[in-house]
Amino acid sequence: MGKSFDRRTFLSSIAATAVASSFPATRAFANKSVNFSGKTIQWMIPFSEGGGSDVWARFYAPFLSKHLPGNPNVVVRNVPGGGSITGTNQFAARARPDGLTFIGTSGSTQIPYLLGDPRVQYEYRDMRPVIVSPTGGVVYLPAKFGIKDASELGKLGNQELVYGSQGATSLDLIPLLAFRLLGLNVRHVFGMTGRGDGRLAFERGEATIDYQTSSAYLTNVMPLVQAGNAVPMFSWGTLDAQGNVQRDPTFPDLPHFVEAYEMIHGKAPSGLEFDAYKAFFGSGFAAQKPAMLPQGTSDEIVAAYREAFAAAVADPDLIAGKAEILGEYQQVVGADVKGVYESATVISPEARKWVRELLTQEYNVKF
* Burial classification of residue 303, based on how many CB atoms lie within 10 Å of its CB (0-12 exposed, 13-18 middle, 19 or more buried): middle
Kindly state whether residues 250 and 294 are assigned to the same domain: no
Kindly state whether residues 41 and 165 are assigned to the same domain: no
Picking from 103, 98, 27, the residue whose alpha carbon sits closest to that of residue 68 is 27
How would you classify the pairing of strands 210-213 and 128-133?
unpaired
* Burial classification of residue 178, based on how many CB atoms lie within 10 Å of its CB (0-12 exposed, 13-18 middle, 19 or more buried): buried
Kindly state whether residues 84 and 148 are assigned to the same domain: no
CA distances to 40, 48, 208, 314 from 281, rounded to whole Å, are 35, 24, 22, 27
Sign of CA dihedral 6, 202, 192, 213: positive
What is the C-alpha to C-alpha distance for residues 41 and 35, in angstroms, rounded to an integer?
Answer: 12
Is 234 within 8 Å of 260 (Cβ atoms)? yes
Give the tens place of pLDDT for each residue, 350-362: 999 999 999 999 9
Kindly state whether residues 238 and 275 are assigned to the same domain: yes
Mean pLDDT of all residues in 292-311: 98
Domain assignment present for residue 126? The answer is yes
What is the C-alpha to C-alpha distance for residues 342 and 356, in angstroms, rounded to an integer?
Answer: 20
Domain region containing 231: 137-283
Kindly state whether residues 79 and 180 are assigned to the same domain: no
What is the C-alpha to C-alpha distance for residues 326 and 360, in angstroms, rounded to an integer?
Answer: 36
Kindly state whether residues 44 and 88 are assigned to the same domain: yes
Give the tens place of pLDDT for each residue, 4-56: 344 444 444 443 344 334 444 444 555 578 999 999 999 999 999 988 899 99
* Coil, strand or helix at 153: helix
Mean pLDDT of all residues in 184-191: 96
Q: What is the number of domains present in the chain?
A: 2
Domain assignment present for residue 363? The answer is no
Q: What is the pLDDT of residue 31?
A: 58
What is the C-alpha to C-alpha distance for residues 284 and 317, in angstroms, rounded to an integer?
Answer: 28
State the Cα angle at 151 between 146 and 154, rounded to 5°: 70
What is the C-alpha to C-alpha distance for residues 191 and 227, in angstroms, rounded to an integer?
Answer: 28
Kindly state whether residues 244 and 344 are assigned to the same domain: no
Tell me the pLDDT band of 215, cut-offs 50, 70 and 90.
Answer: confident
Kindly state whether residues 236 and 273 are assigned to the same domain: yes
Kindly state whether residues 211 and 273 are assigned to the same domain: yes
Kindly state whether residues 170 and 227 are assigned to the same domain: yes
Pure H helices in 68-160 = 85-94, 107-115
Domain assignment present for residue 364? The answer is no
H or E segment and range at residue 226 = helix 222-226
What is the C-alpha to C-alpha distance for residues 358 and 272, in angstroms, rounded to an integer?
Answer: 12
Question: CATH no. for residue 220?
Answer: 3.40.190.10
Kindly state whether residues 13 and 121 are assigned to the same domain: yes
- Backbone φ and ψ for 172, nearest 5 degrees, come out as -75, 0
Kindly state whether residues 227 and 196 are assigned to the same domain: yes
Mean pLDDT of all residues in 98-107: 97
283, 314, 333 — which closes off a domain?
283
User: pTM to 2 decimals?
Assistant: 0.86
Burial track 316-334 (b if 16+ CB lie within 10 A, e otherwise): eebeebbebbbbebebbbe
The rounded radius of gyration (Å) of the Cα atoms in the chain is: 21
Mean pLDDT lowest among 50-54, 75-79, 231-235: 50-54
Domain assignment present for residue 19? The answer is yes
Q: What is the pLDDT of residue 249?
A: 94
Predicted confidence (pLDDT) at residue 315 exceeds the cutoff of 70: yes
